[in-house]
């Protein structure tokens, strides 16, 4: 409320009451703010789409393990692969710097024929950081005889 602290001498008030004017101006300002279109800037972005077929085998940048099972399955880091997939994975490791270590671990009852085929694939791929692991469980070094391949 507007109040005047002026004289009370009975003369008419000469000041204009600006409260209704300010109220009308605020209402008009709100109406203009509401009616102004929102400025939208659009930027076209091509988002990547999810791959419905994610890669089955993961290539570890540090070390990868190839296991040959007694039923002639080749396992790449625990996942079954065929010879073509094994070669593809080996070639993918060649693109990683430094080259990840490849560990070959044939199980005790794996066939020698399949082991030789896997070794030929590894040699043909050009992998240089290669080694055999788990050999200690197949031979009793103190006695010169074979160890028990099932129970260790």
Q: Can you give the pLDDT at residue 142?
A: 58
Sheet strand arrangement including 79-81:
79-81, 74-76, 63-68, 101-106, 130-132
Q: How far apart are CA 131 and CA 102, in angstroms?
A: 6
Write down the pTM of the prediction: 0.54
Q: Where are the domains of the chain?
A: 63-138
* 6: helix, strand or coil: coil
Name residues whose C-beta falls within 8 Å of residue 149's C-beta, 6 or more positions apart in sequence.
107, 108, 109, 137, 138
Q: How far is CA 105 from CA 66, 74, 80, 133, in A?
A: 6, 10, 14, 5
Please give the CATH number for the structural domain made up of 63-138: 3.30.420
Closest to 89 measured CA to CA, from 53, 116, 52, 126: 126
pLDDT in tens, the chain (152 residues): 556 566 667 777 788 888 999 999 999 999 998 888 877 777 888 888 877 775 555 788 888 999 999 999 999 998 999 999 999 999 988 888 888 999 999 988 888 899 999 999 999 999 988 888 887 776 655 555 555 555 54
Q: Can you give the pLDDT at residue 139?
A: 62
């Amino acid at each position: 409320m507007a109040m005047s602290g002026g004289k009370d001498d009975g003369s008419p008030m000469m000041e204009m009451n600006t409260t209704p004017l300010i109220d009308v101006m605020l209402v008009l300002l709100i109406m203009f703010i509401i009616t102004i279109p929102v400025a939208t800037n659009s930027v076209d972005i091509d988002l990547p789409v999810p791959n419905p077929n994610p890669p089955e085998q993961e290539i570890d940048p540090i070390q990868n393990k190839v296991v040959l099972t007694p039923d002639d399955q080749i396992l790449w880091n625990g996942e079954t692969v065929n010879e073509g997939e094994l070669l593809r994975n080996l070639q993918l490791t060649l693109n990683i710097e430094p080259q990840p270590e490849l560990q070959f671990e044939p199980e005790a009852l794996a066939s020698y024929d399949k082991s030789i085929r896997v070794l030929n694939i590894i040699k043909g791929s050009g992998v240089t950081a290669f080694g055999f692991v788990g050999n200690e469980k197949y031979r009793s070094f103190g006695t010169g005889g074979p160890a028990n391949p099932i129970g260790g």
